[in-house]
Structure 1
Amino acid sequence: MSATTPHPRLAEAFERHRAGDLAAAEQAYRAVLAERGEDADALNGLAGLSLVQRRPNQALALLRRALAQRPESAVIWSNLARAALGSGRSEDAARAAQRACELGGDTVDDLLLLGNALRDLDRTDESEAAFERAAQKAPGQLAPAYNLAISHLTAGQHERALRELKALTARFPAQPAVRHSLANALAAVGRHAEALVEYRATTEQSPGFVAAWTNYALTCLEVGELDEAAAALDHALDLRPGEPVAVAAAGVLAQREGDAARIAQLFDVDRVIVAGELPLPAQVPDRQAWHDAIEAEILALPHLRRDLASKTTRDGRQSGNLAAIGHGALGAFVAALRETLAARIDAHASRQHGVDPVLVAPPPARWHLNLWATVLDPAGHQDPHLHPSGWLSGVYYLRAAASPDDRAGWIEFGAPPTVLQGDTPPTVHALQPREGELVTFPSYLYHRTVPHRGDGLRISLAFDVVPLPA
């Protein structure tokens, strides 16, 4: 049988795949590979199964093998972009989506992939251009217009996004995601009463929409409607116990209401924060020399970008996802971090005993790593934020630039953004960064950095442990 002739079991695999019989489809794809070796269609099909099962790293490996056999396939490049987006590799996703567009003639799906990857990279103008091209190709479709509006919202163009989302809500009233985004846009421009109306309508239309309940609660907290916030959070946490944004909002509510028991559960420093030196890899004899090498690699990164609109870094630069790096000093750090995180996950899980079950998500059996570098200039800092996609988050310090006297350069935990704070000062714990130290904490925990002083840079590597389905 010619290597270019489709294997007879591929038709069976495709049919099983379309029918949703994933186990049978996988068996058929693997039978093709066992007989033929590197078959691009079978590899692409297996990668599609991995994407459905939310195994993006496995999909990436399969798709790279498929591209080695068929480098001019727009479909395979498109799937590679999806897999890269799913694993947080936005730079790789943008390159793959661009190649898919070049080979496939700018399909709407590929333009949407490209726009989403570029939006993740804060390449706002290019992202908007991709969505505009998609909208021109499919003027009656929701997805291009909706993504364009979300791109404007993410970039801080709130009034423009608001006009677009109002029009889309009128055109597509049965789409709760559109109404939810309209509510978010209204909240972003301070039109809280209107936002609450849209959040209520969204939750009535889609009672299982966790993010709508959570954002409803956050807006209630902003305007002081604490009882309404509590009811919305009850819904969110019943639907998804331990959801990071909902737990963070529950912490804000506890601080506003003086709920000492819940404050203790969420903000007990000895329970929720673990700090300790990251063990040196066996091949690294000297930590300072290793730090110097990592710093040089970070500062040479082509995607180290300044003051991104969608990030909380101020007077500083931030990289894309570094978790896939497998070489050099950064590669050694990634390997050491992955090894240490297994123990840290266990340590944090063991500290959850006695905590209200709705506030606790179980430790992930499977997870992927998002890792990025942050380089702060003098007076640079991070605004209060949390990490909504993670189960566990953390930071490793290469250059601490922290003053022991006035907390300049320190990291502070527990204080939400000012708009969420009430009359009572929030419970705050400050930690002085130390070079070589790995600090981990639950992803729901609001944190910020105090502006640092001096002439040097403050350089750190932050990360999220992002759960995947078992």
Structure 2
Amino acid sequence: MAESNHRQDQLNSAMSSHRSGNLKVALEGYKRYLEAAPNHLEICSLAAEAAFGLKDFEQAAELLGRIAKAQPTNPQAHFNLGVSLKESGQLKMAEKAFHRALGLKPSYSAAQFQLALLLTAQGDRGSAVEAFRQVIDSDPENVEALSNCAVLLKEMGRLNESLSFHRLAVGKRPDHPGLNYNYGLALELTEQFERAAAAFQKAIDNDPKFVLALSSLGRVMGHLGRHKDSVECYRKGLGLSPSSGNLKSQLGVALHAAGSFEDAIDAHRDAIALDPASVDYLCAYGYTLTAAQHHEDAIKIFDRALHLKPDHHEAYSRKALALEALGRGKEIITDLRSAVAKHPDIVNLRLSLARTQLHTGDAAGALETCDDCLAKQPASTAALAFRSQALRELGRVEEANALTDLDALILPVKTSHPAGFQTMEAFNAALISHILKHPTLLKDPPGHATKGGLHTGELLIEPKGPFDDFEKTINAAVVRYKQQLRHSADHPFVAHQPKRWTLNVWSVVLEAGGHQVPHIHRGAWLSGVYYAKVPEVVRRSGNSRAGWIEFGQPPEKLNPTAPPELREICPEEGLMVLFPAYFYHRTVPFDADGTRISIAFDIVPFGES
């Protein structure tokens, strides 16, 4: 009797300690009690609760295992055991416990949810998605299941499905910062940058200290060409997290894009001071130094990056640009060949080698490299452009002209005004007004061909204004262009025409002296230009061709020696010119007064070609 009373006193003391939050003392008391009554289920449950609170998950699993063994038909017992096993890292045993719970109670939503989380942790995304779907079927209001399922689908590349689940989750909790942030990431992946920006902004509105959302908003603003807004986002993020090297580096990238090279250099230096071993920070810094014409300094920075990571292909590619600018391209050829050998599947590295080979006069080597590129990526814009130039330098002019057929593949089209406008003049006036007021309009943006002029970012973002109609005009012109293609089906441009595409649209505003240097449009299949405003001096320029668009002249950085095959077209208001994206083209400078406003666009393949 005395022993029984003593054990009851121990139990009462343990329970009192439990109620007061002294879990360690409580657990020890429960364990002493269980020495004499190891299968007392109520005390096992209390002891497991205390162990769980102490994060002693193995102890909790052992105690809950006793309950599950004693109550094999109790789904709650198997569920509790599964949770403790999952937390202790015994994932396979936890999976079995959750399956037992679901076998006893198929509608057990909590067990299904925990099973989905466990499958996620095991990397079995497909099974995890199905498990989350079953949770959602039985509990449509389960926002956690919706969000987790959406994230998994995004990681699996099933982006449209992911967006659907994100929309459902955000619809149920519209002010939740994390849900809006995850939705923004999925929208960004599908290049819906304006909607992504709105989602990130909603996350920030509900949590002004959400640094990741500020960083992501800055990144998306960069995609939209709103570089000043991008800079502001990164500065706000740094106000909250001043020691973030990543934010400082991204600020440097945004300042670079806005043309503020010296400020960008300072930001990159700050980032590197925080993490001197970051190869990514060093490469971003070197790229800005190259853009600012500090080529010698850039080369030293790229060498520093390569010392830290000798096979970093981006450092080789960017170092090549700096050396080419100094006329020292031959110094990087051996390294580029070595990098290509180590990274045979990185087409951009081969393109850097081909460009440098052309720059150094090795047209035969460039041709071979281009053919290697095209074997891996048959529609590569840059590889086709470099190949055409290599053929011309080798004297294989007929082959070059067949690849870059200026007469057959360039199509000028006289457009008509959309139904909502009375005249072409009214349509052009609306386009011009929208362009000149656009928030992305920037003078001589880095990385673009525009010199001495203004350049917008993406124009197919809301509010589109007249560009809603212009988008339809472009798509209709592209369909007609594809229908009129008469080249043989084995021509690489014809063979890889897309069935579906997306559009990128921007504008260039040139005053006297403004022009565009020879360039191509990487990543696109077809490109085009539309003339909304053409000054009288361009229309009357005659033999001088001032302000005209010229096709066929390669850039000086390739050190061309062979005479080019040229085609020049005089701009007219309402004229659209379509051409393969790999055709080099430029604007001939004009010196007289007047404003020339053109709208350029790319047809970018989407999905299966």
Please give the range of the TM-score, normalised by the shorter of the 2 chains.
Answer: 0.7 to 0.9
- Pairing partner for 2:533 from 378, 382, 399: 399
Judge conservation of contact 2:227–2:254 (CA < 8 Å) in 1. yes
- Equivalent residue for 1:431? 569
- Equivalent residue for 1:123? 260
Distance 1:415 1:17 in 2: 47
Judge conservation of contact 1:391–1:464 (CA < 8 Å) in 2. yes
What is the CA distance between 1:309 and its match in structure 2?
5.3
- Equivalent residue for 1:461? 599
Q: Secondary structure at the match of 1:246?
A: helix
Judge conservation of contact 1:391–1:466 (CA < 8 Å) in 2. yes
Q: Secondary structure at the match of 2:542?
A: coil
- Equivalent residue for 2:470? 337
> After TM superposition, where is structure 1 displaced by more than 6 Å over at least 4 residues in a row?
none
- Pairing partner for 1:376 from 500, 511, 522: 511
Judge conservation of contact 1:284–1:290 (CA < 8 Å) in 2. yes
Q: Secondary structure at the match of 1:275?
A: strand
Provide, for residues 123-177 of structure 1, a one-character-per-residue CA deviation record: whole Å limited to 9, x for no partner: 2122222222222222222222221111111222211101111122112113222
Work out whether 1:354 is the aligned partner of 2:488: yes
Distance 1:215 1:74 in 2: 36
Distance 2:441 2:324 in 1: 31
AA aligned to 2:488 is: G
Distance 1:279 1:332 in 2: 18
Q: Secondary structure at the match of 2:378?
A: coil
Q: Secondary structure at the match of 1:383?
A: strand
Work out whether 1:413 is the aligned partner of 2:551: yes
AA aligned to 2:517 is: D
- Pairing partner for 1:198 from 335, 338, 343: 335
Work out whether 1:228 is the aligned partner of 2:361: no
- Equivalent residue for 2:310? 173
Judge conservation of contact 1:369–1:466 (CA < 8 Å) in 2. yes
Higher RCO by CA contacts (8 Å cutoff, separation 6 or greater): 1
Provide, for residues 395-423 of structure 1, a one-character-per-residue CA deviation record: whole Å limited to 9, x for no partner: 22233231352122211101102454655
Provide, for residues 282-331 of structure 1, a one-character-per-residue CA deviation record: whole Å limited to 9, x for no partner: 333243355455545555667644445543333x222331415545xxx4
Distance 1:295 1:29 in 2: 37
Work out whether 1:318 is the aligned partner of 2:451: no
C-alpha distance 130-257 of structure 1, shift in aligned 2 (>3 A): same
C-alpha distance 124-195 of structure 1, shift in aligned 2 (>3 A): same
Distance 1:442 1:58 in 2: 30
Distance 1:106 1:393 in 2: 43
What is the CA distance between 1:234 and its match in structure 2?
0.9
Distance 1:456 1:133 in 2: 43
Q: Which blocks of at least 5 consecutive residues in structure 1 are unaligned?
A: 1-6
Distance 2:515 2:413 in 1: 23
Q: Secondary structure at the match of 1:390?
A: coil
C-alpha distance 89-301 of structure 1, shift in aligned 2 (>3 A): closer
Work out whether 1:134 is the aligned partner of 2:268: no
AA aligned to 1:73 is: F
Distance 1:443 1:62 in 2: 33
Aligned length: 459
Which range is displaced more, 225-234 or 80-89? 80-89
Which range is displaced more, 251-260 or 349-358? 349-358
Which range is displaced more, 142-151 or 47-56? 47-56
What is the CA distance between 1:18 and its match in structure 2?
6.9
Judge conservation of contact 2:149–2:165 (CA < 8 Å) in 1. no
Judge conservation of contact 2:283–2:314 (CA < 8 Å) in 1. no
C-alpha distance 370-405 of structure 1, shift in aligned 2 (>3 A): closer
Q: Secondary structure at the match of 1:397?
A: strand
Larger Rg: 2
Judge conservation of contact 2:194–2:461 (CA < 8 Å) in 1. no
Judge conservation of contact 2:417–2:427 (CA < 8 Å) in 1. no
Which range is displaced more, 21-30 or 37-46? 21-30
- Equivalent residue for 1:3? none
Q: Could you tell me the percent identity over the aligned residues?
A: 25
TM-score norm. by structure 2 comes to 0.67
Distance 2:186 2:440 in 1: 31
Distance 1:367 1:461 in 2: 16
Which range is displaced more, 342-351 or 186-195? 342-351
Provide, for residues 74-106 of structure 1, a one-character-per-residue CA deviation record: whole Å limited to 9, x for no partner: 222222223333455444433333333334446
Distance 1:285 1:310 in 2: 38
Judge conservation of contact 2:509–2:595 (CA < 8 Å) in 1. no
Structure ranking higher in helix proportion: 2
TM-score norm. by structure 1 comes to 0.86
Judge conservation of contact 2:146–2:165 (CA < 8 Å) in 1. yes
Q: Secondary structure at the match of 2:448?
A: coil
